[in-house]
Amino acid sequence: MDDSPFATLPDELLEAIVFYLPPAATLAFSSTCKRSNKITYEPLVWRRHCMQEWRYWEPRHELKDKLRLPPVQTKWRLLFNERRRIDKEALDLFDALLLEQKGRVDRMEKVAAMAYDVKDLMLRQRDETRDDAEDVLARRYHANAVLGQIHRATALDKWGRLQRRQMVRLEEVLGAYDLFVLSAGKGDLNDIDGELDRLAECIRARDADFDDLSIRRKAVQIAKYLRAENLVGNQSEEDYHALRNNFISIALFEEPHTSLPLQSVAIYCAVARRLGVNAKPSNYPHHVHAVIEAPPDTDLDGHARGPTHPPMDARPQDATDIMHMDPWRSTAEVPLDQLTTRLSQMGAPVAQHAYHLSATTNLEVALRTGRNIMNSVQEARDRQRGTTRRQGYPDVESAWYAMLWSMLVLGDATQPSTLHRRRQVLPYLIEHYQAHFPEDLGLIETIVAPMFESEREHHVLMHLITTARQGDANARAPSYRPKKEELRKWMIPGEPGVSFKIGAHFRHKRYGYEGVIVGWDTKCGAEPRWIEQMRVDELPRGREQPFYNVVSVFYYVLTSPSEPGASGGPQADNAGGHRADDKSIRYVAEENITEVHEKPTEGLMSLAGRYFKRWDEAEGRFVSNMRDEYPDD
């Protein structure tokens, strides 16, 4: 730099210029001479680079504490270098897992283990990969899958802490459900935290004297603000049980901000706590209220308690100690006599009134939310039956998966009823993991298996885990297309052999649902019981024709299961109809497939990345990412 015009500039001006350089330019400038190298070590420069490059950070970095300290007390350049190293290591693993199926789950687990330190990188892979990239679908799909792994692991960590009676805030307990369904946009625990902080500050800024108000008046003011902003409640009785109403991030960030009473009360309580109001959800049946307790030194109206006044737990509580709010319905305090009258009308014994009117635990709130989600998912599936309408955000299968995990993880492990519930939930969880979330093998291994260590289910779980690990570690056995001379040995005369290739886009001839071929057998390879149940031998070409593994998008068909080959696979509901669920793999006879060459719907395109690199417009089919398993396709 000695011969450059920059050499004449004072250090202060060079530091100001360097402050606005991107990281690559900063590093290049630092390599020009000793003076520039010294200038670029300015901590403020690298703190800005860290903040601009990465939004998400693992808790171990203690980023909030570092930002409160003077810049010189943190080695920001070393921290920047560490995050760059993590990004490179993760990207190398991610690129490798896209190339072959062997070791894919293992590599996904290694990337996901870096947790929030790789979230920014995975978001870029998912959201910024160009449409014309050679592996665009695979890259987007697997980046989203890794993000899901990170989010679910975080959720299960929160519930695990709650189960161990460690401190977990109410918004974290409920926000864990949101992590299972989190898609694009806001909804992470940090986003929820930030929005609740913002709402609390807005309430405080709206009323300059807010901090001087009594607890009772604060409680009412908080409800007034949240209802005025439409952040609590639900004006549509028809959509009361809508799946979206179970998730607080959707209530906070997505129009029309509707929620169930439990979620509305959770939002209210979280904001109230930030404003010095001790508010908790109640045990009230069917409709949750907020229970607000007075602080030890004053009553709800701000009157000081004398030194001889007995503490609340040593005397009956009255209207100066505790109040109830229903922010889902109103901004007014709910009279105690009104609540007790309703309890009596519901048949609740008088001896249980105190329990129902008191605050509940975060554990019970979590379990209650799980039960609500179960009801909402079942209602959503009932509404969709007989239509081709796909469930939007939140995803039904992800919400159901969250409910299953919560029912398995949470509860008093010493109670026989908890073990009974876990045994009931386990087969459904395993089925859902295998069908939709195979990348969660590590969670099954580290969380589920230990729960049943001394139970009869443990051996089955360990066999499942060992088989899955071996399957991931070994190369897939290749399936070659039979040659013409081989066809003559076993094919029916006049049959064309395996007509369709991996990646073929098709519609089912009978039911019309859309799908893509992800595997094939030269003839039906299902078990005899399934062949008999599906009446495969009654099909015109019977069991000797090729059968295909296909992935289909959401579609319900109301036809009689008595028709031969009606299901095309094991998926069937118990209402007389059959369904092809979003993400499901089905087994379909060749005679029921009609290949189509137009571009698939967005629903199928989003799923196809699990098996394919991209959609080939010229060929009218997907480009296989399973050449190791089907080398001829």
CA atoms of 50 and 83, how far apart (whole Å): 8
- Copy the structure tokens of residue 576: 């007389």
> Helices 261-274 and 362-384 meet at what angle, rounded to 10?
140
pLDDT for the residue numbered 45: 86
Cα 39 → chain centroid:
44
List, as one string, the DSSP characters of 465-511.
Answer: HHHHHHHHHSPPPP-PPPPHHHHHHHSPTT--SS-S-TT-EEEETTT
Residue type present at position 245: N
Q: What is the pLDDT of residue 578?
A: 41
d(CA 53, CA 144): 20
Contact between residue 546 and residue 502 where contact means Cβ atoms under 8 Å apart = no
Q: Yes or no: say if 19 and 51 are a contact pair by the CB < 8 Å rule.
A: no
Per-residue burial over 199-232, b if 16 or more Cβ lie within 10 Å, else e, is: bbeebbeeeeebeebebbbbbbbbbbbbbeeebb
Residue 96's identity, in one-letter code, is: A
Residue 615, strand partner residues: 622
Residue 413 to residues 165, 192, 367, 416, 417, Cα–Cα distance (Å): 12, 30, 14, 8, 9
CA distance 543 to 536: 6
Q: How many residues does the chain have?
A: 633
Which amino acid is it at 489? K
pLDDT at 567: 46
User: Which residue stretches of the chain have pLDDT < 70?
Assistant: 1-3, 6, 308-317, 385-391, 484-496, 554-583
The pLDDT assigned to 579 comes to: 43
> Are the beta carbons of 604 and 553 closer than 8 angstroms?
yes
Strand order in the sheet with 514-521: 585-589, 547-552, 514-521, 505-508, 593-595
Q: Which long-range contacts (CB under 8 A, 24 or more apart) does 403-408 make?
A: 403/370, 403/373, 403/374, 403/377, 404/428, 404/429, 404/432, 405/152, 405/155, 405/156, 405/159, 405/180, 405/429, 406/159, 406/176, 406/177, 406/366, 406/367, 406/369, 406/370, 407/367, 407/370, 408/448, 408/451
- Tokens encoding 376: 């909402």
Helices 189-206, 215-228: crossing angle, 10 deg rounding: 110
Is 598 within 8 Å of 131 (Cβ atoms)?
no
> Which residue in this structure is represented by tokens 């790789």?
118
Each residue's pLDDT tens digit, 512-557? 999 999 999 999 999 999 999 999 999 999 999 999 999 987 544 4
Cβ 540 vs Cβ 494: under 8 Å: no
The string of pLDDT tens digits covering residues 251-304 is 999 999 999 999 999 999 999 999 999 999 999 999 999 999 999 889 999 999
> Which candidate, 621, 623, 627, 600, places its Cα nearest to that of 612?
623
| pLDDT for the residue numbered 21 | 81
Nearest to 510, CA basis, from 468, 474, 462, 560: 560
Q: What is the reported pLDDT for 561?
A: 35
Cβ–Cβ under 8 Å, residues 272 and 257: no
pLDDT at 576: 28
Residue 101 structure tokens: 């199926």
- Supply the pLDDT for residue 556: 44
Which amino acid is located at 601 in the chain? Answer: T
CA atoms within 13 A on the CB side of 364: 12
Distance of CA 263 to the CA centre of its chain: 17
Tell me how crowded residue 598 is: count the other CB atoms within 10 A of its CB.
Answer: 8
Question: Contact, 143 vs 122, CB < 8 A?
Answer: yes
**Residue pointed to by tokens 């360097």:** 18
pLDDT score, position 268: 98
* 502 token code pair: 């991996």
Q: Which residues partner with 548 through β-bridges?
A: 520, 588
Q: Distance between CA 364 and CA 386 in Å, rounded?
A: 36
Whether the CB-CB separation of 323 and 290 falls below 8 Å is answered with: no
| pLDDT on residue 333 | 97
Three-state DSSP at 280 gives strand
